Chain A
Amino acid sequence: MPLQQRLAMVPLLLSYPTVILSNDLIIPVELGFHRMLILPLFSATTSTAVACAFKPGMPSQVAVFLWAVAFLLFELALLLGPVQASSLFLVIAELVLAIDSEGGRRSRLSAMGRRLAPLPLVSFAISWVRGRSYKALLTPCLSYLLLSAAVAIVYPRATVLLKTAMRFQQRQEQQQHQETFQSQHNEAPATGAKVRSTAIPLAALTFSLGLYLFSSLQPLMVFVFIGCLGVFFLSLSDAIEEQGPNFVLQNWIVCAVGVLAAVLQYLSFNTLSASPTGDLLTAVFVASCELISQRIIGSSSTAATVSDKSAGGQETPYKHFHSHHHSHAHEKSVLSQVAHDPGTRSIFSFLLLNTTFMFVQLLYSFRSKSLGLLSDSLHMALDCTSLLLGLVAGVLARRPPSDKYPFGLGHLETLAGFTNGVLLLGIVCGIFVEALSRLLHPTAVQETNELLVVATLGLVVNLFGLLAFDHGGHTEDSNNENMRGIFLHILADTLGSVGVIVSTVLIKITKFHIFDPVASIFIGSLILLSAIPLLKSTISSLLLRLDDRKHNLVKTALNQISTTPGINGYTTPRFWPSSSEGSVHSHSHSHSHSHSHSQAQQEDCDDEHDLHTHKGTFTLVGYIHIQHVEGENSTIIKKRVEKIFEGVGIKAWLQVEPNDSQCWCRAPSITQSVTLQSKANL
């Protein structure tokens, strides 16, 4: 598996346990037994609502099914604890995926039972260690009963649903080119989806309100939960569309999830389970899950080679509606465009990772009441915003020209780079101000340990980002200012983390608190130094500055024009770098007829036209007014000039006018007035 895909998995793997854990924290444990029922209900409703929000065209069967699965998951999480629940659920998902196609219902169930047999034993052992009473055994017993019941009931429905969804999808794919059919077909689900996408969130909202009123719901946790759910679904759909639904069938994935969940749980509760033996047994549980999943993968890979790959509509239940979304691909949203663009994909997954990490930090900061973490996570939110800005700009820049942007949005990327540069400047100013005030009023840095942990984690995440960048579209277009801005942003964050680590270590060693502001000033100047070239280049291209090569191009063209017989002069030659070819393509009509000339043209002017390799790409766009001698044929003049511009690769609008005619470009009054208008404050 290429590194890029592996990177894309990271946010998914991180957000999955976070969702489960934050779900656990929404309602405090004191509530008692009601919690077991209310909380999963709430969580399932919320997650369905979030899913609906992300995929508006979801059929209602899928929504119900999704709800059921989410309920099961969260119930399991409550009964067994996050670590066990997350790995167990993942294994079951793999099982469903792997052995779906073979055998009848009973055989499938028995196969699952066989495979999963060791797990309940470990679970029982864990709860025995924890409770040392028969009552404690009740929860795993209950959970496995629930699980088997759910598998028995839901599982056949899942296959049915999968089939219908596949049929649905196929039908849509057939009709994709028939737009009229498509719209009719979409009508029914669309209205249904509309109802759902208002109803379900409403339900979730009332649910949460009720919970807040009647019990002590933690709104912050709900916020974290919803945010993580969003990231989870996004990265899930991303991963599915990238690697197909079978991406779950990978080695070590269960292990990774289990370990992450354990780490998260340890962070928020400071314990894993009650005792060291419990910890050990949990580890055993995760390990056995991993073993089972490896066996499943081993068996399924042989089966997968036999069975048709394209019939792999077998998906974990709440995934197939994502692939159903495939059919809507022709009217993608900006976000999905970002996710699917090969150039920005890896950066997008880094963005997801960053967001997840932000939520993790937020969660932990609520638990530990640490302010450093809190402000750091908010800082990360700003980072994510600017990353998203850059990515969206990158996609929007490929939009075709419209009425509002007649020359296309090609400069948008430059603009985004500029914006990122300005934001970097703002951040640097903030750092300097803070550092100066620290220098003037030295304050002792407390909680150095915590700071160290946070900074290290941030460093790791940002290193992931830099890695993603190296394997992203960064290498081939180094002149892309948007990407450069994003890169600088990530780099600045990385440097910030390094600076904090170094200064904290130094403070710990030397006890001099001066290192903190010094380090921040140093890092601030580094960021500044890297931002200034970016700003310079973006400014010059936003001012429509022509570089030397283009300048010479224009000069060549103008010289040729001035030597053309019959032309008296020209005014207002204004040419600017074309941002995209789109606008020019739509306007290539005037050059079609002069195509035959262009070959002869190229023979006699053989200088520096190599950049104009193929027709249709223009490096410059602009307009010029040509004055011709009285009595000349303006059409011929126009053709000549067109030929010249075509030869050097300039798209020009030509206004050919008799020398003594009137035009704003020569009329003194108008020119003056326009000039003065820029002077006067109108």
Chain B
Amino acid sequence: MDPLPQSLEITGEKHDDNSPPSSAPVMNSIQEEENTIEPSAFPQPPGFHTPLPKSKAVFNSPADSTPKPALQSPSLPRPPHAFYASYEGNNSSSSLIYNPSFTFGDTNTSSPTAAQAPQTPQQQQLRPPTSAGSQSSATKQSNRQSRYIPGPKLAPPTTRTRSPTRSSSPDTRVKRNSRPSSALFEAPFNLAPPPSMQTPPPSSASSNTRAMFRKGHRYKHSSVSMNFFQEPEVKIPLNIAKSLPIPNFNDLTKNLSWPRAHFQLLLTFIQLCMCLLIFQLGHHNSWSNFGTLSHFVAYDVIGSIAIIFVENLSQFEVWSTGTITYPFGLNRIEVLISFSLAVSLCFVGLDLLFHMAEEFIVLFVELNHDNHEDIAPQIPHSHHGASNLFSKDSNFTLWYPVLVFNLLISMVSLYKIFYANKYSKLKTKNPIITITYTLYLLLYPSIVGYFSAISDYLAAILIATIILFHGITIAEWTSTILLLGFSTTTLPRNHFLGDTLAESSQQGQLDTMIKKRSISGPVLTEENAVPPKRSSSWFPWTRSSKVGHNNDTTVLKSVMKEEIEKLPEFLAKCTMHYDNFFVAKVSFNLYVVLVNVTLRGGSDADELNLRLAVDKCIRRILPNAETTVEIDRI
């Protein structure tokens, strides 16, 4: 995949004058979101951004600022050295991958510009004079941040001299110091870090100074004196990665996890060869069954490649990290691939069905008019050769070995690729279809005597139907996720009726809930009213379509709302509208819940408690939800 040029443009401006000459493997990071978890001690009170000589020393030695393993996710064993090198156009933005052992581009071609994060002038201007970071909390923070923040491996700061003379305006400083620093629970992106944080962020400090260093705009607001010139009041770096590089093909190939992915690729290659062999064999001997089988195998190959691709891609930071450009990361690629595979599955099934229909029609024509000699051989996938298949073919000795080998390969690929994928949750497990069909073909010669004419039709139609059904199911489910819908497919059933509700009178409660809902919600009222009449028509599309034909969502949403309203923290003064309660699924394992609550009166503590309780309540039903509780206080 190409690195997206648009994202590069945003942060693409380079400052060539201050690039360190180091060729050490460094990572480009986005400066705005740098959280500066630099390990060097910086004995300054936070908010005081005058660079000290000590920090300068840190800046000047890029080796010191090599990324620390602090940020590494414990789940992934990583070598301590992380290479974040520039690669072609990729270097202008941050090159971050989740697993530091993965590399972007050529590891040894880190261009000098790669060492520093480029900034647009605007960002420079907004550069905070200081930023928080602490050695002590580095590990902890890194864990927190690994989701949204690329990591601490900031580029070594520039070595150019900075003017330490100018400090921030007195206002700013006063304001800053007046801020209560909460050491108990410091957010990773706090502006005012707690006093316990000792480290000033060297790199960010350097970038701050860059802003001061500019000469052009010094008098921009004031014609009176530069004493009154105020630094733009921007302190907070953007806490989110603007964009993370999209790994391209080279990155992917370089980061294949050694034994596993290679084995899988080998397996896929064998499958591919198998597919071609079967196709050739079928073509040569006019075994139409083999043609069909080769289609299935080809489809398996595509599925395997998709899985390997996703598994590899999911190692990169951009996979799970939300950026501005990709708010939920590239997670959705998985959903998208599942969807497209399901669609193509439907396509294959439909194609097969049409072939069957074609042959069926031909059969009819033949029954009516006895002239099938001239028409049968022309059919591409005709099964008419079946009767004399085994008598004349010397190649029949190949039948069983090929099939058995294929069965073996399919089995292995099923268990080693499709079931073994830890990271991806692709929903295509279709070697099962191949295996089924292969088994049928193994049996085929023995049953050919009895009802060969129909067994082929039956098997093909059956398989096609299964494929179609399977494909449609997956497509419907994944499309719901792609459309940011509330997909309840993977949720356990007891969420609908069971444990979350009080035991007594569940059903009645639910009914009243739904009734209540249908009164309040105009959409549902229509839907409830319409179906009984419409269902009399023969054509399913005249019914009110798929929107809301699944009542599960309504039920579950009602349950959730009811649960929230039953909370003790949900006081009598709180109101919550059903229409302002949004649940959406954005990827295979992430729900987004947006709640809107109006609170009449109440203290800050009430608000906080309410929010926490709502969050907890939702989390009980949807464990992987990102809840946002918007509380309006009147």
Interface residues of A in 172-214 (CB under 8 A from B): 190, 193-194, 197-198, 201
Q: Could you tell me if A422 and B340 are in contact, using CB atoms closer than 8 angstroms?
A: yes
Question: Quick one: closest B residue to A441, CB to CB?
Answer: B283
B425 CB contacts on chain A under 8 angstroms: 681
B10, B144, B354, B365 — which one has the most chain A CB atoms within 10 A of its CB? B144
B238 CB contacts on chain A under 8 angstroms: 555, 558-559, 562
Count class of interface residues, chain B: 35 or more
A400 to B548, CA, bound (A): 11
Q: Could you tell me if A404 and B347 are in contact, using CB atoms closer than 8 angstroms?
A: no
Q: Does A382 touch B at the CB level, under 8 Å?
A: yes
Q: Does B629 touch A at the CB level, under 8 Å?
A: yes
Q: Could you tell me if B596 and A590 are in contact, using CB atoms closer than 8 angstroms?
A: yes
A625 to B586, CA, bound (A): 18
B465 CB contacts on chain A under 8 angstroms: none
| Segment from A13-21, A236-244, A348-356, A564-572 that makes contact with B | A564-572
Q: Would you give the 0/1 interface string for A367-381, flagging 1 where the beta carbon is closer than 8 Å to chain B?
A: 001010011001001
B320 CB contacts on chain A under 8 angstroms: 675, 678-679
Q: Could you tell me if B187 and A676 are in contact, using CB atoms closer than 8 angstroms?
A: no
Contact of A369 among B234, B357, B365, B629 (CB under 8 A): B365
Contact of B75 among A331, A624, A676 (CB under 8 A): A676
Contact of A333 among B9, B480, B541, B587 (CB under 8 A): B541
Question: 6 closest A-B pairs (Cβ-Cβ)?
Answer: A562-B236, A569-B189, A574-B327, A333-B542, A660-B182, A406-B582
* 24 A–B pairs (Cβ distance < 8 Å), ordered by A: A53-B537, A220-B361, A366-B361, A371-B379, A396-B547, A405-B547, A418-B340, A422-B343, A425-B344, A542-B482, A544-B586, A551-B10, A551-B324, A571-B188, A574-B328, A576-B327, A590-B596, A627-B189, A635-B633, A667-B144, A678-B590, A679-B75, A679-B422, A681-B422
Q: A544-B327, A562-B234, A675-B146 are in contact. Are A659 and B322 (CB under 8 A)?
A: no
B141, B333, B538, B590 — which one has the most chain A CB atoms within 10 A of its CB? B538
B548 CB contacts on chain A under 8 angstroms: 402-404
Q: Could you tell me if A666 and B144 are in contact, using CB atoms closer than 8 angstroms?
A: yes
Q: Could you tell me if A369 and B375 are in contact, using CB atoms closer than 8 angstroms?
A: yes
Q: Could you tell me if B545 and A658 are in contact, using CB atoms closer than 8 angstroms?
A: no
Q: Could you tell me if B143 and A668 are in contact, using CB atoms closer than 8 angstroms?
A: yes
B522 smallest CB distance to A (angstroms): 9
A114 smallest CB distance to B (angstroms): 44
Contact of B234 among A563, A654, A655, A682 (CB under 8 A): A563
Q: Does B523 touch A at the CB level, under 8 Å?
A: yes
Question: Quick one: closest A residue to B581, CB to CB?
Answer: A406
Assuming A551-B325, A563-B235, what are 8 further A-B pairs, CB within 8 angstroms? A407-B483, A544-B326, A563-B232, A573-B239, A590-B632, A660-B185, A663-B611, A666-B188
Q: Does B580 touch A at the CB level, under 8 Å?
A: yes
Q: Does B27 touch A at the CB level, under 8 Å?
A: no
A375 to B381, CA, bound (A): 11
A366 to B363, CA, bound (A): 12
Q: Could you tell me if A627 and B358 are in contact, using CB atoms closer than 8 angstroms?
A: no
Q: Does A298 touch B at the CB level, under 8 Å?
A: no
Q: Does A437 touch B at the CB level, under 8 Å?
A: yes
A441 smallest CB distance to B (angstroms): 7
| Segment from A275-283, A311-319, A408-416, A522-530 that makes contact with B | A408-416
Q: Does A587 touch B at the CB level, under 8 Å?
A: yes
Q: Does A547 touch B at the CB level, under 8 Å?
A: yes
Contact of B484 among A371, A405, A635 (CB under 8 A): A405
Question: Quick one: closest A residue to B99, CB to CB?
Answer: A679
Q: Could you tell me if A371 and B375 are in contact, using CB atoms closer than 8 angstroms?
A: yes
Q: Would you give the 0/1 interface string for B313-330, flagging 1 where the beta carbon is closer than 8 Å to chain A?
A: 010000110101111101
Question: Quick one: closest A residue to B7, CB to CB?
Answer: A551
A572 to B141, CA, bound (A): 15
A407 to B481, CA, bound (A): 12
Q: Would you give the 0/1 interface string for B325-348, flagging 1 where the beta carbon is closer than 8 Å to chain A?
A: 111101111001001100110011
Interface residues of B in 286-327 (CB under 8 A from A): 314, 319-320, 322, 324-327
Question: Quick one: closest A residue to B425, CB to CB?
Answer: A681
Interface residues of A (CB under 8 A from B): 53, 56, 190, 193-194, 197-198, 201, 216, 218-220, 331, 333-335, 366, 369, 371, 374-375, 378, 381-382, 385, 392, 396, 399-407, 409, 411-412, 415, 418-419, 422-423, 425-426, 430, 437, 441, 446, 539, 542-548, 551-552, 554-555, 558-559, 561-563, 565, 567-576, 579, 583, 586-587, 589-590, 622-625, 627, 629-631, 634-635, 638, 653-668, 671-672, 674-682
A193 CB contacts on chain B under 8 angstroms: 536
Q: Does B409 touch A at the CB level, under 8 Å?
A: no
Contact of A197 among B191, B537, B546 (CB under 8 A): B537
A448 smallest CB distance to B (angstroms): 14
A216 smallest CB distance to B (angstroms): 8
A634 to B630, CA, bound (A): 11
Q: Could you tell me if B604 and A634 are in contact, using CB atoms closer than 8 angstroms?
A: yes
A418 CB contacts on chain B under 8 angstroms: 336, 339-340
Q: Would you give the 0/1 interface string for B579-601, flagging 1 where the beta carbon is closer than 8 Å to chain A?
A: 11011101101101010100000
A407 CB contacts on chain B under 8 angstroms: 483-484, 582, 584
B283 CB contacts on chain A under 8 angstroms: 437, 441
Q: A405-B547, A678-B320, A679-B314 are in contact. Are A571 and B189 (CB under 8 A)?
A: yes
Q: A402-B548, A563-B233, A625-B628 are in contact. Are A335 and B541 (CB under 8 A)?
A: yes
A334 smallest CB distance to B (angstroms): 5
Q: Could you tell me if B422 and A680 are in contact, using CB atoms closer than 8 angstroms?
A: yes
| Segment from B104-112, B208-216, B248-256, B550-558 that makes contact with A | B550-558
Q: Could you tell me if A375 and B358 are in contact, using CB atoms closer than 8 angstroms?
A: yes
A53, A667, A668 — which one has the most chain B CB atoms within 10 A of its CB? A668
A565 smallest CB distance to B (angstroms): 7
Q: Would you give the 0/1 interface string for B591-634, flagging 1 where the beta carbon is closer than 8 Å to chain A?
A: 01010100000001001100110010001000010111111110
A404 CB contacts on chain B under 8 angstroms: 480, 485-486, 547-548, 550, 553-554
A537 to B407, CA, bound (A): 39
Q: Could you tell me if B143 and A366 are in contact, using CB atoms closer than 8 angstroms?
A: no
A635 CB contacts on chain B under 8 angstroms: 632-633
Q: A426-B344, A548-B6, A571-B239 are in contact. Are A201 and B538 (CB under 8 A)?
A: yes
B579 CB contacts on chain A under 8 angstroms: 586-587
B186 CB contacts on chain A under 8 angstroms: 659-660
Q: Does B423 touch A at the CB level, under 8 Å?
A: yes
A678 to B589, CA, bound (A): 7
A573 CB contacts on chain B under 8 angstroms: 239-240, 324
Q: Could you tell me if B332 and A543 are in contact, using CB atoms closer than 8 angstroms?
A: yes
A333 smallest CB distance to B (angstroms): 4
Q: A572-B148, A675-B146 are in contact. Are A548 and B484 (CB under 8 A)?
A: no
Interface residues of B in 336-380 (CB under 8 A from A): 336, 339-340, 343-344, 347-348, 350-351, 354, 357-358, 361-362, 364-365, 368-369, 371, 375, 378-380
Q: Could you tell me if A671 and B143 are in contact, using CB atoms closer than 8 angstroms?
A: yes
Contact of B239 among A53, A378, A569 (CB under 8 A): A569
B607, B608, B628 — which one has the most chain A CB atoms within 10 A of its CB? B628
A634 CB contacts on chain B under 8 angstroms: 604, 607, 631, 633
A679 to B321, CA, bound (A): 12
Q: Does B92 touch A at the CB level, under 8 Å?
A: no
B328 CB contacts on chain A under 8 angstroms: 544, 574, 576
Interface residues of B in 402-436 (CB under 8 A from A): 421-423, 425
A450 to B160, CA, bound (A): 80
Q: Does B197 touch A at the CB level, under 8 Å?
A: no
Q: Does B192 touch A at the CB level, under 8 Å?
A: yes
Q: A405-B483, A559-B238, A672-B146 are in contact. Are A631 and B180 (CB under 8 A)?
A: yes
A660 to B375, CA, bound (A): 80
A577 smallest CB distance to B (angstroms): 10
A622 to B328, CA, bound (A): 11
Q: Could you tell me if A677 and B148 are in contact, using CB atoms closer than 8 angstroms?
A: no
Q: Could you tell me if B327 and A406 are in contact, using CB atoms closer than 8 angstroms?
A: no
A655 CB contacts on chain B under 8 angstroms: 611, 628-631
Q: Could you tell me if A675 and B243 are in contact, using CB atoms closer than 8 angstroms?
A: no
